[in-house]
């Protein structure tokens, strides 16, 4: 069982970083192997260059895939489960994670391939879990329709058919952390079972 965590937050003093630490210790206790793509710590390039656009924008599969993107493809190839962990910023993921999708979901790999495609095609990942921390409460995000739109974009579009089994967990109400922290930690603990039971 291999888990890949795509983590996106710039600060080690953040609540999202605390959640990451808790997630790591939960996986360690369950003896589940994991690796982390910490996008800020890696200084992962998330702007597409004009040169890269020549490949992506025109589906020119003869052009090379950048090395850092290939490394992410290799991590995905090994993963039985991918967890995306980030804070909600303006009702979506931070721009840096959006840029990971822009570049890592390259044409001919994550979409736009056909039977004659000679490039490596993204495998179907058995399990995808999206975890986001949010200042607003879950109730409020549901009431104003933002929770549904975040689910539509992350689960239906970005994870899409590339994942067999997927879910989104919103750890809301972080404006009042004391009130929600223990529920959030219980939710993170329950992730172990979700990963172990992914084929059920
Ligand atoms: C730039 C920015 C935009 C934010 N936008 C939202 C938002 O649209 N909805 C929301 O519920 N919380 C929003 N928040 C609050 C964060 O989701 C919250 O601070 C985070 O989940 C937990 O805090 P952390 O940064 O300590 O990890 C925003 C915070 C920042 C810094």
Residue 141: predicted pLDDT: 98
Residue 120: predicted pLDDT: 84
Say if ligand 1 is within 6 A of residue 146 CB. Answer: no
User: Are 126 and 199 within 8 A, CB to CB?
Assistant: yes
pLDDT tens, position by position, 19-42:
999 999 999 999 999 999 999 999
List strand residue ranges (DSSP E) for the chain, in order: 2-7, 33-38, 81-87, 125-133, 163-171
Residue 198: predicted pLDDT: 63
Say if ligand 1 is within 6 A of residue 136 CB. Answer: yes
Say if ligand 1 is within 6 A of residue 16 CB. Answer: yes
Cα-to-centroid distance, 148 and ligand 1 (Å): 17
Give the Cβ contact number of residue 187 at 10 Å: 16
Residue 69: predicted pLDDT: 98
Q: Which residues of 51-89 are buried (b: 16+ CB within 10 A; e: fewer)?
A: ebeebbeeeebeeebbeebeebbebbeebbbbbbbbbbb
2-42+78-94+117-196 carries CATH number 3.40.50.360: yes
Which residue minimizes the CA distance to atom 25 of ligand 1?
Answer: 14
Domain limits, the chain: 2-42+78-94+117-196
Cα-to-centroid distance, 115 and ligand 1 (Å): 42
Residue 200: predicted pLDDT: 47
Residue 197: predicted pLDDT: 77
Which residue minimizes the CA distance to atom 12 of ligand 1?
Answer: 135
Which residue minimizes the CA distance to atom 1 of ligand 1?
Answer: 89
- In angstroms, the CA 199 to CA 35 distance is 21
Residue 112: predicted pLDDT: 86
Each of the 200 residues of the chain gets a pLDDT tens digit; together they read 899 999 999 999 999 999 999 999 999 999 999 999 999 999 999 999 999 999 999 989 889 999 999 999 999 999 999 999 999 999 999 999 999 999 999 999 999 876 566 678 999 999 999 999 999 999 999 999 999 999 999 999 999 999 999 999 999 999 999 999 999 999 999 999 888 876 54
* Angle made by CA atoms 94, 95, 99, in degrees to the nearest 5: 125
Write out the two tokens for 73: 């493809």
Say if ligand 1 is within 6 A of residue 184 CB. Answer: no
pTM: 0.96
């Amino acid at each position: 069982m291999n888990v890949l965590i795509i983590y996106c937050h710039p600060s080690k003093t953040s609540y999202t970083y605390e959640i990451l630490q808790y997630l790591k210790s939960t996986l360690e206790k369950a003896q589940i192997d994991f690796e982390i793509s910490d996008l800020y710590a890696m200084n992962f390039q998330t702007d597409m260059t004009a040169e890269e656009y020549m490949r992506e924008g025109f589906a020119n599969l003869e052009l090379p895939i950048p090395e850092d993107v290939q490394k992410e493809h290799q991590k995905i190839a090994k993963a039985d489960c991918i967890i995306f962990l980030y804070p909600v910023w303006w009702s979506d993921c931070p721009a840096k994670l959006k840029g990971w999708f822009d570049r890592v979901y390259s044409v001919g790999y994550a979409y736009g391939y056909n039977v004659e495609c000679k490039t490596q095609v993204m495998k179907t990942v058995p399990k995808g879990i999206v975890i986001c921390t949010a200042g607003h409460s879950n109730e409020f995000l549901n009431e104003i329709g933002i929770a549904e739109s975040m689910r539509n974009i992350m689960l239906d579009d970005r994870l899409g058919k590339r994942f067999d089994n997927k879910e989104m967990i919103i750890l809301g109400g972080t404006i009042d952390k004391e009130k929600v922290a223990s529920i959030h930690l219980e939710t993170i603990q329950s992730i172990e079972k979700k990963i172990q039971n992914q084929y059920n």
